[in-house]
Structure 1
């Protein structure tokens, strides 16, 4: 059944909100459990739809998965013999499922992974994944909608230079190389905190990895890994979402569990535009300005630059800010689908290539809108909070893929947001 969020405008978010484990780490750690026979336990796992999908994918590969959403715990029992085919039925719903490619080729010597689906935010080519694995000795090709990899002679260490610091390619090469023979060096690697989290997880399983979190990662392959217990790093994108929500609604929100050091550029932008940002013993606090926030230019870049996942929130923020701002999207060409929905709410925004010029207005106007991806959906709900009247955001299932009980967390901050059936064709 389709569901939507019904948002009544006029809320100023106030109080505490807790962030749990990072979606973009938890899913990859679940895939990484395939590297070791035994039962691995992950804690601080977010209660989101994507975890449920990944759990089912692992079951189809032969694993025993015990997922306890309310406790944030997933236990994965990996047998000696596992499957190697990730079918389209599940992969189309979860692009992160491509991260089973590296572990499967390392453990089984072959992998058939359907070309992923996921968010409608633009092209995310798999060439870098294939090139990295080929450097390690795998043969990779695409046939009948599947990315097919084989390494019958096993993988060997190599120097891998990524043309772009792709998070997914870095993850797949890293997870494949921990069981390869010899030394691997990944240059121009992605630097996201989630990469460092995966590396720490692998080290806890007995891998030899150094340099994760920098642009050069060094790996010395080992013969086998062992099961482990691991606590997932907090979700910086969820934390950043709440920071922008507080500033946009002129609220006062403490983000418990958030790590300010993972959001340095984003929080500095908000502070420079009039919000007050302070680090607290349990996270950080954002207090929005008393009047309209000041506009701020944003350009997305790989970490440690401004995250593309927070770009929809920057659009919403600038839609009601005082002044004009340029939003530049350097990573995903289709991520400006949020703009046309914000325009339905009365935003003054114009797309020019990979730029959007936003002229802030004092108040948006409630209307039916449609979420196109996880972050766009959450940002449109925030837009509804600063709109006159009622806004309905269709496509609640998108938001459920990345946020743990989003409407409940908003309600806890004083927002009038409810989930309801969506029987309309649109809105």
Structure 2
């Protein structure tokens, strides 16, 4: 799937299951290195980022079998090898391999992470974590190398509550004797998901989901079975789609808590919802109302990964919305493409001013990142006429069965 032709103006109706979380699955896969045995990971999404992580782990000697949405990972014979640029360069989440590789083998060498070009993702916070645990590091234009004769317990303060750095701190310390304290830790569900997996393996972790996490080192971990929770960003994309098209959708495999941080924004736009036994029903009766001000923030604030799709809805809303992006400096890249569809958007550094239009018009647009490309699709659903969305391979990085799921909801899509 490289390009999509979308016929807009159709309301979405029906039911769709929300896939397992990409941003929980990837660190859990990395953490499987620590248990030196077998991890069965259920509800694992069939997406490109997961396939790349599978390739990386296979290259490190892990044996991986997939049975539909279940991964069986045997890390007993894993080895320490450099993670090369041809793999790490495709995946921003490759940085989460550093903690488990360092913990198991005493050293790690990996190319700098790649993925979507939405802004800088510096690894200095990660490196400071490893230094406090007793490791040293070297950094050149291509590779990051970290090593330690022996890691030790530490009291770590993160200058920013980075999700990846928090995950690396947890994974690096899970077998370190003593108690490691991580302060100003990230609170995201992605932290809780990783810790749930590790505690299932026998790790002793307290405080996940709060700003202080305590990790008491254990001698070894055991085999486990873990089910990946729902992907909250995929859930949010369906919510944005329903809001933009005045649709009525039932989302299964998720619950209302998965939408914390952004559901209130959409209810402010007029979205209504009803909790069900197996999910949530959402419906939008009228043209979305503008929300005055949206600022991206760490959890439980409004997530940066929801900013682009929400901008698409705001472009069609009744009123004006100001977006402030506080996480990634290039997250407004989608604005220029939305303007081709008639959106009224002005960008000044990390601020975007959106004046909603009663009509958007189909256009030929191109995605440059995962969430931005999904945002163009949401706008195309609401627009009058036909839109061509190019570079939709980005969508494959994070959305499972994207085209077929939207067709089931009534979207008119042709792959070209």
Same fold (TM > 0.5): yes
What's 2:289 paired with? 294
**Does the 8 Å contact 2:101/2:108 carry over to 1?**
yes
TM-score normalised by the chain length of structure 1:
0.95
DSSP-derived class of the 2:410 partner: coil
Structure 2's unaligned 5+ residue stretches are none
**Does the 8 Å contact 2:61/2:77 carry over to 1?**
no
What's 1:33 paired with? 32
TM-score normalised by the chain length of structure 2:
0.98
Structure 1's unaligned 5+ residue stretches are 421-427
User: Once superposed, what is the RMSD of the aligned Cα atoms?
Assistant: 1.1
1:49 aligned onto 2:36: no
What's 1:219 paired with? 215
Of 373, 391, 394, 2:390 maps to 394
What's 1:423 paired with? none
Cα deviation code 1:120-170 (max 9, x no counterpart): 100110000000111011111212411100012x21110110011100000
Of 192, 198, 212, 2:194 maps to 198
DSSP-derived class of the 2:334 partner: helix
- d(CA) in 2 for partners of 1:81, 1:74: 16
Name the CA shift for 1:81/1:363 in 2 (closer, same or farther; >3 Å): closer
Count how many residue pairs are aligned between Structure 1 and Structure 2: 415
1:12 aligned onto 2:8: no
Cα deviation code 1:78-118 (max 9, x no counterpart): 12451231111011111111111000000000000111111
User: For residues 377-416 of structure 1, what are the structure 2 equivalents within 5 Å?
Assistant: 377-416=373-412
**Does the 8 Å contact 2:99/2:168 carry over to 1?**
yes
1:112 aligned onto 2:109: yes
What's 2:364 paired with? 368
1:102 aligned onto 2:102: no
DSSP-derived class of the 2:219 partner: coil
- d(CA) in 2 for partners of 1:151, 1:265: 39
What's 1:175 paired with? 171
What's 1:150 paired with? 147
**Does the 8 Å contact 2:33/2:78 carry over to 1?**
no
1:210 aligned onto 2:206: yes
**Does the 8 Å contact 2:236/2:259 carry over to 1?**
yes
What's 2:61 paired with? 62
DSSP-derived class of the 2:110 partner: strand
- d(CA) in 2 for partners of 1:25, 1:122: 21
User: For residues 312-331 of structure 1, what are the structure 2 equivalents within 5 Å?
Assistant: 312-331=308-327
What's 2:119 paired with? 122
What's 1:88 paired with? 85
4+ residue stretches of structure 1 with deviation over 6 A?
A: none
- d(CA) in 2 for partners of 1:119, 1:336: 13
- d(CA) in 2 for partners of 1:80, 1:299: 46
